[in-house]
Amino acid sequence: MDIIDPRIEEYVERFTTPHEPLLAELSEETARELGMPQMLTGPVAGRFLEFLVWVSQPKRVVEIGTFSGHSALSMAAALPDGGHIDACELDPERAAFAQRYFDRSPHGSKITLHVGPALETLERLEGEFDFVFIDAEKEGYVGYYEAVLPRLAERGLIVADNTLSSGRVVDEAPPIAAFNEHVAADPRSVQVLLSVRDGMTLIRKA
């Protein structure tokens, strides 16, 4: 199912400020070397994340599911002075790919890449989180949400990606549907599900 008419998606991308050259190169090499280009954040969602970081000015960002590094670099570009991203990636090959681009970016020094299970990484990290981006395996979303919500700063924000699951949430029960139901039923949080790309849910504490 197309969530949005492909012509509208094309129009939206055409009138969104395009990738920086390095991110465009990253996207092309990801599709060529790693495959699964649908897992890329893309220029529209990437700019959206950049805008959210630019507006909220978080000092402490956590990314759960880094893939090839597009979203981390998008957010890093808008971090305030002293801001930092802890990026979690389970797959060593994807992590090595992302690190190569972090090393080439003027914003790469703002990112620390942690390789291994994200829940274990979260346990090792100390303090509160100002901004959390969740974009890992969908079966794990509830666990990630439960791990980060109690540690979210007072004005912190969680962004969960792919929460429309290509529209399958309407007639089917993909893994992300359980997460959507869980968050909607949680009195501790307030959320809005947006039809940006494959669905992005913004969550804050109630």
Digit-by-digit pLDDT tens for the chain (206 residues) are: 677 888 998 999 999 999 899 999 999 999 898 877 677 778 999 999 999 999 999 999 999 999 999 999 999 999 999 999 999 999 999 999 999 999 999 999 999 999 999 999 999 999 999 999 999 999 999 999 999 999 999 999 999 999 999 899 998 889 999 999 999 999 999 999 999 889 999 999 99
Instruction: State the pLDDT at residue 41.
Output: 79
Name 125's Cβ contacts closer than 8 Å, sequence gap at least 6.
62, 86
Q: Does residue 49 sit within a domain?
A: yes
Q: How many residues does the chain have?
A: 206
Report the distance separating Cα 188 and Cα 146, nearest Å: 11
Q: Does residue 194 sit within a domain?
A: yes
Report the distance separating Cα 178 and Cα 104, nearest Å: 38
Q: Give the CATH number of the domain where residue 113 resides.
A: 3.40.50.150
Look up the domain containing 136 and give its range: 6-205
Residue matched to tokens 């509160």 = 128
Q: Does residue 1 sit within a domain?
A: no
Residue 206 corresponds to which tokens in the numbers above? 């109630």
Q: What is the DSSP letter of 167?
A: G
Task: Indicate the number of domains in the chain.
Answer: 1
Report the distance separating Cα 64 and Cα 85, nearest Å: 11
